[in-house]
Amino acid sequence: FIHISIGGWDTHTGNKAQITKIMKETDMGIAALLEDLNQTGLIKQTLFVLTSEFGRTPDVGSRDGRDHHPKVWSTLLGGGPIDKGFVFGETDELGAKPTKPNEAVHLRDLIATIYKASGVDPEGELTNSFGRPFLLTTKKAKIIEDLF
């Protein structure tokens, strides 16, 4: 597993400058990584996940900043067993809420799906340092089967 953090997408002020910097740091690197994984065939055994902590308002407002849409996130999943080119879910025109709330995915479902795509049993458990069992996901977690 490799985890890379860019330090945050929180652009409540100075959005244009911050997003320009973030995109310079991420766009080319992500494109190069995915191209290399595709060319070498390693994409079939590599799960790629790009996510943020909140959805964002589409307008920047008077402070040149974007506020939160906490009910909607965007996440990019690819590689491994995930079907190529599949889009799951949609929002209203403001990106504020799902257009089909009954199809909305909870974070626990995304985590369970990532475990499954990684070859880890989402219903598995670990033992913590006190010898107590620790579930990887909650019993309510559902795999997003449409991705496979």
- Domain edges within the chain: 1-77
Q: How confident is the model at residue 61 (pLDDT cuts 50, 70, 90)?
A: confident
- Residue 77: is it exposed, middle or buried by C-beta count within 10 angstroms (0-12/13-18/19+)? buried
pLDDT of residue 53: 74
pLDDT of residue 9: 77
The four Cα atoms 81, 46, 5, 136 give a dihedral, to 10 degrees, of: 60
Tokens for 8?
A: 């945050």
Q: How confident is the model at residue 129 (pLDDT cuts 50, 70, 90)?
A: very high
pLDDT of residue 65: 87
Tokens for 10?
A: 């929180």
As a whole number of angstroms, the distance between CA 89 and CA 101 comes to 9
As a whole number of angstroms, the distance between CA 64 and CA 19 comes to 11
Percent of the chain whose predicted confidence (pLDDT) is above 90: 43
Q: Are 52 and 74 in contact (CB under 8 A)?
A: yes
Over residues 66-116, the pLDDT tens digits come to 888 888 888 889 999 998 888 888 889 888 889 998 888 889 999 999 999
In the chain, DSSP finds a helix count (H) and a strand count (E) of 2, 6
Helices marked H in 79-123: 107-117
The reported pTM is 0.83
pLDDT of residue 105: 87
Tokens for 121?
A: 């049993």
Q: How confident is the model at residue 48 (pLDDT cuts 50, 70, 90)?
A: very high
Mean of per-residue pLDDT scores for the chain:
89
pLDDT of residue 33: 93
